[in-house]
Structures are given as structure tokens and as C-alpha cells.
Structure 1
Amino acid sequence: MFWRKGYEATSLDDLTEATHLSRSSFYAAFGSKRELLLHAYRRYANAFYADMKTLADEHEDTDTALRAVVKALVDARPDDRGCFCVNAIVELAPSDPELAELGRDHIQRMCTLLEQLITRRGTRRPLARALAATLMTLTMGSAVFRKASVAEGTLKSVQRQALGLLGLA
């Protein structure tokens, strides 16, 4: 529900209906709407990172691994829901310090994964760190574009440009 409607637009009735719980059972299980969101965010972020790490580890060739990860980051959600993490960060980070911290942690973890791949290519760490942050900015922006139903051709162009930064286009 949070992913589809956003946090503010999701009512307690939406959540109890989706979970098939009474209000009292919902509060007993999750504590609050916000606690459920934080739990969902952590779970999604951990699973997403694990998927990207697995994808990177599947390829011995670093360039192939980078191509696969960047493509997966741009194509992560091929529908108009966008990325759950990006959606939550955009909606709530300005007013929720804990969610903002979770967002920074997720971004940092993803940047570190990209940085490790980039340094395996022989790129020095300061440049690898900057390239990783740039790639994350582009791929997270593509999630916002996807949420706004921007044309697929534009998203493919973003992917090519991101790979072009690495000389992989």
C-alpha cells in the first residue's frame, strides 16, 4: 500500500484491509503505521541490495557486472510504482529524520557496491567514489522518471549515458 499510494495517502483502513487484521491486531503486530513503513523500508532496501550484490557477483568480468548492475538499477521497476526506497525518501525524508537516515544508509550501501566494482577496473578510489555517486543519482532519478511515466526511450538513454561515464556504452 505504501509503495502504491505513498505513506500519507495510505490510511489505517487500507492497511488493515491489506493485512486482514483488525485495528487492535494491527497495532499489536506492527505498533503503528510509521513502524510498519520503517519495517517495510528496511526489508525492501535489504532485499534490493542483496539482489544487486548477487547480480554483481554472478559475473567474473567486472565490465559485465557493472553493465548488469546499472541496467538493473535503471530497469528495477518497469511499472509506474517507481522504487519504494526513492518514493519514501522523496515523500518523507524532509520531515522524518529516521527515514532520511535509512535512505542515506541505503544510498551509501549501493554506492559502495558500485565503487567496489569500479575500483576493480583499476579506477582510483576518489574517482570511483564520485562515479558511483553519479551513477546512483542517475539511476535513482530514473526511478522518479519511471514513476512519472517518462518514455522508455528516455530511460534507455539514461542507461546509455550512465554506462558511458564508465566507458561501457
Structure 2
Amino acid sequence: MTKTMSRAGRPRSFDQQVALGDALDVFWRKGYEATSLDDLTEATQLSRSSFYAAFGSKRELLLHAYRRYADAFYADMKTLADEHEDAKAALRAMIKALVDARPDDRGCFCVNAIVELAPSDPELAELGRAHIQRMCALLEELITQYGTRRPLARAQAATLMTLTMGSAVFRRALVAEDTLKSVQKQALGLLGLT
């Protein structure tokens, strides 16, 4: 008899990265606590045993999903910055992308996870700090290239991250678009980019 499974319970067509993306989508839509193992096995099309073999646990899967999202987010912002010839244009584009209102937005997955879990999960809190520090470093470098001295550039980068992460919470709460546009204007004004 020929086996049609490559591992117990897992179809040959299983792609861990696709399944991780499907699980990330569920966590992003529902939040960690409200996401059940049934939700995850349905989204990934895995049996429970295959789910545990592939990802270990619901929490481990969330941490993988967080890292994946944070890495992709940073890469997108770095690419956006690199597409512009000068720091001023790069900063304008990044602030617009970070604050811009989008209809039916789920907010930022990183921000959602930090707000929900960081107070009780030190490992997730550390991942959150690392993501924030990496984004602040990118902004700080651009602000420095724009002509601001390092100590002030560092403070402005942290302020911009606070504004943009707060706007992600606003989007999640479906705050009016004009309020988000006002946040964007304030963020641009901080750097004299209005």
C-alpha cells in the first residue's frame, strides 16, 4: 500500500510558510486570546497532531507570526525609504504609510499583539521592544540625514513611533479618517515637513 502522507497526518502539499500566513491572519483578525486551536487548525488545514508537529503550540505559532510580520513590515518600510532620493521625501512617504487611514483596517498586527499580550508575556514584550527599536533606528537615520543632530533625531524618531503606533490603535477602533489625517499632519509638522 502506498502512503499519501509525507508525515503523519500532514498532506504532501503542506507549506509551512503558507500555513503561518493563514494563522497570522486569524490572530490578526481575532486576537490571541479569542483564537482557538480549532480556528488555527481550520485556517491551516492541519489536524491537531500535524499542527503540534509543525508549530509546537498556539503561543509558539503566535511568536513565529509576530516575527514574520515584524520582519516584513520593517523590510517594506526600508524599501519605501530607499525608493526616495533624499531623506525628506523618504520621511514624508514613511509617515504617510505609517499613519494613513485605510477603511476596515485591522490595525497593526504588532501593535495589537503588544497591547493584548506584552503585560503578561515577557518574550512577546521583548519582540515588541526589538521591533520598535529597529523602526526607531530607521527613522532616526533618516532624520539625521535630513540634518537633525543625533540626540534630537533619536527623540523625534521615538515621538514619531509613538504617534504612528497610536494611530494604529485609532484605526483598530475605527476612529474617523479626519482624526488620522490630523495625526499625520502633526507627525509631519514635528520634522518641519508640512
TM-score (norm 2): 0.85
Stretches of structure 2 lacking an aligned partner (at least 5 in a row): 1-25
Distance in 2, matches of 1:118 and 1:77, equals 26
With over 3 angstroms needed to count, the CA separation of the structure-2 counterparts of 1:134 and 1:101, relative to structure 1, is: same
Matched positions, count: 169
Match of 1:90 among 87, 91, 115: 115
Paired position in structure 1 for 2:38: 13
Higher helix share: 1
Paired position in structure 2 for 1:72: 97
With over 3 angstroms needed to count, the CA separation of the structure-2 counterparts of 1:155 and 1:14, relative to structure 1, is: same
CA contact (8 A) 1:80 1:146 kept: yes
> 1:76 Cα shift?
7.7
Aligned Cα root-mean-square deviation (Å): 1.0
4+ residue runs over 6 A deviation: none
Are 1:160 and 2:185 counterparts? Answer: yes
Higher relative contact order (CA 8 A, sep 6+): 1
SS of residue paired to 1:79:
coil
CA contact (8 A) 1:41 1:85 kept: yes
**Paired-residue identity, %:** 89
Paired position in structure 2 for 1:22: 47
TM-score (norm 1): 0.98
> 1:77 Cα shift?
5.7
Distance in 1, matches of 2:100 and 2:49, equals 39
CA contact (8 A) 1:55 1:68 kept: yes
> Mean alpha-carbon deviation: is it higher for 72-81 or for 47-56?
72-81
Letter in 1 for 2:155: A
Q: Which has the larger radius of gyration?
A: 2
Match of 2:176 among 140, 151, 155: 151
Deviations 1:67-126 (A, max 9, x none): 000111112865331100000000000000000000000000000000000000111100
